[in-house]
Amino acid sequence: MGEQRYRWKGSELREQAAIIDGKQSPTKVLVNATYLHSYFREWVKGNIWIHGDRIVYAGEHLPDQVDEACEIVDCRGYVLVPGYIEPHVHPFQLYNPHSFARYAAAHGTTTLLNDNLFLLLQLDDEEALFLLQEMNALPTSMYWWCRFDGQTELEREEEQVSNARIKRWLDQEAVLQGGELTSWPKVASGDDIILYWMQEAHRRRRKIEGHFPGASEKTLVKMALFGADGDHEAMTGKEVHMRLWHGYTVALRHSSIRPDLPVLLEEMKALGIRHYDKCLLTTDGSPPAFYENGVIDWLIRIAIEHGVPVIDAYAMATINAARHYGIEHLHGSIATGRIAHINFLRSAHDPTPAQVLAKGEWVKRDGEAPPLWPTPEWSRFGIRPLSLSWELDWDDLQFSMPMGLRMENAVILKPYSVSIDTSRDRLGHDHDECFLVLLDRNGRWRVNTMLKGFSSALGGLASSYSNTGDLILIGKHKEDMMLAFRRMNEIGGGIVLAEGGDVLFELPLPLGGMMSSVEMNELMKEEKTFVRLLRERGYPFEDPVYSLLFLQSTHLPYVRVTQRGIYDVMHKTVLFPSIMR
């Protein structure tokens, strides 16, 4: 993969310099602008010259040459701030990287740091890195992480997360960090392979993003010594304080399962934290409907409402993130040489922009619908509809497991002893136990157990949306589970609910069985319907989308269903192995 196009060619740099000399016209001039100067930390007045995707000048002067093609934009009535940066995106939470980027840009978030887990587990490197190139051509700036583990027990871990693959990803200019480090317990207990990858990331000037929920001070200190630079898992003001004390950059989180930002900010104030230079803001890759109120603009609003000084609130979403990730020369400020990501606000206290420039082009104009972006040809990257070459049969729905998984909340699972009769084809609605099956996408193996706490009245659910792309079946009626599975395959992947012999709901995910091809606003409606139907059938927690995603995720306690079988996270052992079909 070649260099990002932000590394301007010599001829382009000469053109930009010619504008300063008055020998060439810029492509846009923003006049009468009141804008945030991120280095003086104050609102200033001036004019901003843009050529292509770059700010070539910001100050009191106007260009000496302006031709007919140059767009003059009068900025009176607006205040201008840099485009926002979301440092922690999971771009496969039913939406896809393209649809989320477009939606985020219309809300002023024009730079994204994306998780590569889906790409690492589902695509080969040639396909994945080709996708990175295509995403780089979008109006937004798209950067990526490099995962060091699959976040579950993988059947082919040495192949999917190999030394060669990790190094190849770390060598990509668009990759800015290693992590998130869900595998930190392995590092702490002596895994030198991941420690070596952390060192290789630092050698390439990449950051290491931790994943340390509930970590003790001793753990945080050890991980800082090993190379962790930041963490987004602080759940209290004290945990923020501890991370800042030991030099971490702390991403303050507000997400669907951890809407913590108001509490964090109030507790930080109570602890006397008044400086936010090492703080960022993140939504932690939430499902679609969570973003109805905005993306990072929503979090800036929360920060301002909870007493964070206005300029500090914008800094957490712009210059702080750019500085942390080593992209300050391109992002985070309205200053000479930066990418022309600029948000036009009606007020400094209203961070949702009326107009947005991304790479010097309008992605939102006041009173106008955002322009459509060309739809990627997903098949060129190996992202195709699900197409199973095998069929589910009744032998796959045999349950004799003495131990099941009990949901403590949306994402925490504990073991429990199964006492009900699981030999029947239908379970009663007088309890909250369901059949649970994890099926290999290629049809080689299965894991059958029970799931308690998910629903008391669910006929059948089939989902190709999961941590690894393997298939999940949940339900009380085996016939409905079979029907949901067949329909899921017919639509090329997705989430399907069946009840009483009929398909009740379907959410197609034709992009690898994991992602929708529709725009965010439509997807929000579909997700809301799915959540409503599950709640009507007894789902009691915050976020069923995350419940499906995290059934396999071994970075969370206490037991998980994985490709290798039912896995005890705390003791790192397979309790019951998967069964070959």
Cis peptide before 155 (omega within 30 of 0): no
Sign of CA dihedral 311, 316, 320, 321: negative
Per-residue pLDDT, averaged over 167-187, amounts to 96
CA-based nearest residue to 25, from 33, 16, 34, 14: 16
Lowest mean pLDDT segment, chosen from 214-228, 338-352, 362-376 = 362-376
Q: What is the pLDDT of residue 224?
A: 98
Is the pLDDT at 372 greater than 90, yes or no? Answer: no
Per-residue pLDDT, averaged over 420-425, amounts to 94
Contact (CB, 8 A) for 321 and 309:
no
Contact (CB, 8 A) for 4 and 136:
yes
The string of DSSP codes covering 166-186 is HHHHHT-TTEEEEEEETTHHH
Q: What is the pLDDT of residue 263?
A: 98
Contact (CB, 8 A) for 54 and 8:
yes
Pairing of strands 355-358, 361-364: antiparallel
Is the pLDDT at 1 greater than 70, yes or no? Answer: no
Per-residue pLDDT, averaged over 24-37, amounts to 98
Helix (H) or strand (E) holding 402: none
Each residue of 375-407: pLDDT tens digit?
999 999 999 999 999 999 999 999 998 999 999
In one-letter notation, the amino acid at residue 386 is L
Beta bridge mates, 111: 85, 141
Each residue of 234-288: pLDDT tens digit?
999 999 999 999 999 999 999 999 999 999 999 999 999 999 999 999 999 999 9
The CATH superfamily label for domain 82-328 reads Metal-dependent hydrolases (3.20.20.140)
pLDDT band at 2 (very low <50, low <70, confident <90, very high): very low
CA-based nearest residue to 549, from 94, 235, 232, 101: 94
User: What distance in Å separates the CA atoms of residue 289 and residue 291, rounded to the nearest whole number?
Assistant: 5
Both tokens of residue 344? 């036009």
CA-based nearest residue to 349, from 79, 84, 107: 79
Each residue of 480-529: pLDDT tens digit?
999 999 999 999 999 999 999 999 999 999 999 999 999 999 999 999 99
Each residue of 54-90: pLDDT tens digit?
999 999 999 999 999 999 999 999 999 999 999 999 9
Is the pLDDT at 539 greater than 70, yes or no? Answer: yes
Contact (CB, 8 A) for 424 and 440:
no
In one-letter notation, the amino acid at residue 280 is L
Per-residue pLDDT, averaged over 121-131, amounts to 96
User: What distance in Å separates the CA atoms of residue 196 and residue 190, rounded to the nearest whole number?
Assistant: 11
Both tokens of residue 357? 């420039």
Domain boundaries of the chain, sorted by first residue: 8-76, 82-328, 392-578
Neighbours of 39 (CB within 10 A): 8
CA-based nearest residue to 88, from 252, 319, 311, 227: 252
User: What distance in Å separates the CA atoms of residue 252 and residue 235, rounded to the nearest whole number?
Assistant: 9
User: What distance in Å separates the CA atoms of residue 449 and residue 441, rounded to the nearest whole number?
Assistant: 18
Q: What is the pLDDT of residue 398?
A: 95
| Terminal CA-CA length for the chain | 40
Q: What is the pLDDT of residue 6?
A: 53
Contact (CB, 8 A) for 516 and 500:
no
Q: Please tell me what DSSP assigns to residue 208.
A: E
Per-residue pLDDT, averaged over 111-130, amounts to 97
pTM, two decimals, is 0.97
Give the residue with greater pLDDT, 496 vs 1.
Answer: 496
Q: Please identify which residue in the block is written with the tokens 């051509």.
A: 137
In one-letter notation, the amino acid at residue 81 is V
- Mean pLDDT rounded to a whole number for the chain: 96
In one-letter notation, the amino acid at residue 551 is L
Q: What is the pLDDT of residue 3?
A: 43
User: What distance in Å separates the CA atoms of residue 266 and residue 264, rounded to the nearest whole number?
Assistant: 6
Helix (H) or strand (E) holding 123: none
Per-residue pLDDT, averaged over 24-51, amounts to 98
Each residue of 46-55: pLDDT tens digit?
999 999 999 9
Per-residue pLDDT, averaged over 85-99, amounts to 98
In one-letter notation, the amino acid at residue 16 is Q
Contact (CB, 8 A) for 128 and 381:
yes
Sign of CA dihedral 505, 376, 285, 195: positive
Q: For the chain, how many residues are written?
A: 581
Q: Please identify which residue in the block is written with the tokens 């082919």.
A: 156
User: What distance in Å separates the CA atoms of residue 314 and residue 303, rounded to the nearest whole number?
Assistant: 9
User: What distance in Å separates the CA atoms of residue 19 and residue 49, rounded to the nearest whole number?
Assistant: 9
Percent of the chain predicted with pLDDT > 70: 99
In which region does residue 337 sit, left (phi positive, over 0), alpha (psi from -120 to 50) or beta (all else)? Answer: left
Is the pLDDT at 173 greater than 70, yes or no? Answer: yes
Fold classification of 8-76 (topology level): Urease, subunit C; domain 1 (2.30.40)
